[in-house]
Each structure stands twice: as structure tokens, then as C-alpha cells.
Amino acid sequence: MFDQPLPRWLGWAADPDQLRRTPFLASSPLFTGLPRRLLARLATRFFEKMYHPEEVVFEEGDPGRALFVVVEGAVEITRATAQGPYVLNTLGPGDAFGELALIDDFPRSATARVVTPGRLLILYKSDFDALIEGNARIAVVVMRNLSRRLALYARRSPVIATQPGSETAGPL
């Protein structure tokens, strides 16, 4: 019945990697609330890359150009201190990092290093921007989830400010 090959533009739908990515992205908190159809559209914009242990994904201070989602393995997020690297978080499958690259053009605030052999999905800001131009619902859902994540970060790490002329600091 289906002896003829799929048209080239529809070939991505039969790609096993694309079929696997959609449910995987659905399990990531950053994409919670996106309908399956939009997740499938988003999945086509990601590409997958293998990483070896100790391989650096990006360094603190690098330009932020992409979002990453851990498929396999573990990734450490570290920040440079006078005593050496300080581990902020260790991420596993389903966790996203580098998400601020989707909303601003500031340098990376930390270093991401692969700890165990891993695979990452990568979404470049330019691909995300092109996708949301054609579908505002993706932008609204992802930005809402990103706002929730940023609020969580802010609540975990209160901002400390000093009063002018005062030697003590307190939370804002």
C-alpha cells in the first residue's frame, strides 16, 4: 500500500530520532504544557551531539547561543572561585541548561562540563526565534516555564545588597 517513499519534506516524521525526541522533550519541565503537535515541531529544531567525560560544553563568559537538554549522562554546572571551580548543580536526563540564551545575549554565567559519557540535544537561539515567529503558543509556553524556573532560582538564592555607608548586608 505504501510502496512509494515519503516526500523529502516529510522524511523527518519517519526519522526514529525525531520520533524519540518528542516524548522525551515532553518530559522536560521547560516544555511542559506544549501540545504534542508543537513538541514535534520543536523537536525538529534540535540536533543531538555526543560528549565524552570532562568535555566542556561551554565556559563561563562564553557567548550564550543555545539551550541544551541532557538525553544521557550527567553534566556539572560550575562557577569559578578563588578556591577553584564550585559545583552549582549536577544535571541528568531530561534536565535543561543554558536556557537564558533563549532570552538574552549575555555571556554564560557558569561553565558546563560533561561528567559521564553523554548525549545532549541542542537548540540554537536563532532556530528557536525562527520557530516562535511562526507559532506564538510555543513562545508563550516556553517563556512561562522559563519564568517559573527563574523565580525558583531567585527564591533559592536571595539577592544580597549593602546599604551605602554600611558594612552589613541583608536580603532584599
Please give the pLDDT value at position 22.
Answer: 86
Domain ranges of the chain: 11-146
Q: What is the pLDDT of residues 52-91, one digit of tens each?
A: 999 999 999 999 999 999 999 999 999 999 999 999 999 9
Please give the pLDDT value at position 101.
Answer: 87
Please give the pLDDT value at position 160.
Answer: 56
Q: Which residues of the chain register pLDDT less than 70?
A: 1-18, 157-172
Can you give the pTM of this predicted structure? 0.79
Q: Give alpha helix (H) positions in the chain.
A: 11-14, 16-26, 36-43, 125-134, 136-156
Please give the pLDDT value at position 86.
Answer: 93
Give me the torsion for CA of 8, 9, 10, 12, rounded to 10°.
90
Architecture of the domain made up of 11-146: Sandwich (2.60)
Question: CA angle, 139 as apex, 138 and 141 as ends, to 5°?
Answer: 65
Radius of gyration of the chain (CA): 19
Residue 96: its H or E element: strand 96-97
Please give the pLDDT value at position 170.
Answer: 43
Residues across the chain: 172
- Between CA 58 and CA 51 the distance in angstroms is 12
